[in-house]
Amino acid sequence: MVAQTRRVDFIETAGEIGALLLEAHLIKQQSPLFNVRLRRTRSLRSIRLHRSAAGLEPRFIDQKPNDIDPGEGLYGLFASKHAAQEKLRELARTHALCLALLGLEKSSPRGCFGVQIRTCRGACIGREGRAAHDERLLSALTETQIHAWPYPAAIDLVETRDEWVQRHRIQQWRHLGTQCSRNQGARFGSQPEAFDLDSYKILVRPIMLGTATIQIAATS
């Protein structure tokens, strides 16, 4: 990659959030050969809990970015069903959950394989109450829950450096564009108004923890 480099360009931003949003946008727009991590995803998988007569059952939801509603009780955003399953397996190991009850392996009258190696507490054979198992499942998934948009309208996430001001317009976790005081309010360019996993990851922590300067967006 270094041997093929002929020129280095850069775009200065007023803060780190703006730099990360711009990077994610440009990678999707230009599809650079050596950077595939932030490329556009055609569909995303999430986990949703279905309550049956037996208890909570994880189900995998396949959605296109335009259809994602973060307020619908979704857990995790994954590029593939395999990635979602691996996350459930990781949580099962950490919280002693039953892979059979999570739909990830078959059980038998003697219980799942986890019962035999003592990584499952036996909810699949009645050794542990299903309610206790499901409570741990809910607790384990909480860290991955997709946050509902916490504002009634669009916001401007404001970053400043000296007298330089950049306003990132955000609505329902979608980055609609950035206005820059150095360019008389001109935009870098607007991302499509679709839910983008990378933008969500960039924005969720500063917005939910209140570490960013936020203003309700002015409407014309």
d(CA 220, CA 46): 36
Question: Which pLDDT belongs to residue 218?
Answer: 73
Q: What percent of the chain has pLDDT over 90?
A: 50
Q: Where are the alpha helices (DSSP H) in 143-189?
A: none
Mean pLDDT for 181-202 is 70
Question: Which pLDDT belongs to residue 10?
Answer: 92
Mean pLDDT for 108-112 is 84
Across 25-29, 81-85, 109-113, the highest mean pLDDT is recorded for: 81-85
Positions of E strands within the chain: 44-51, 56-63, 75-78, 155-161, 164-171, 174-180, 213-216
Residue 192 has pLDDT above 60, yes or no: no
Question: Which pLDDT belongs to residue 189?
Answer: 46
If DSSP codes are grouped into helix, strand and coil, which group holds residue 38? coil
Mean pLDDT for 107-136 is 90
Residue of higher predicted confidence among 66 and 51: 51
Q: Which of 34-38, 120-124, 138-142, 200-204 has the lowest mean pLDDT?
A: 34-38
Question: Which pLDDT belongs to residue 188?
Answer: 47
pLDDT-derived band of residue 131, with 50, 70 and 90 as boundaries?
A: very high
The pLDDT tens digits for 4-55 are 889 999 999 999 999 999 988 888 888 877 776 656 666 788 999 999 999 9
Question: Which pLDDT belongs to residue 106?
Answer: 85
Residue pair 203/173 in contact by the 8 Å Cβ criterion: yes
Q: Is 164 left (phi over 0), alpha (psi -120 to 50) or beta?
A: beta
Mean pLDDT for 135-144 is 93
Positions of E strands within 33-190: 44-51, 56-63, 75-78, 155-161, 164-171, 174-180
Q: Show the tokens assigned to 177.
A: 């564009």
Angstrom CA distances, 25 to 88, 188, 202, 212, 220, stand at: 30, 10, 12, 20, 26
Mean pLDDT for 165-172 is 92
Q: Which of 46-60, 118-132, 182-196 has the lowest mean pLDDT?
A: 182-196
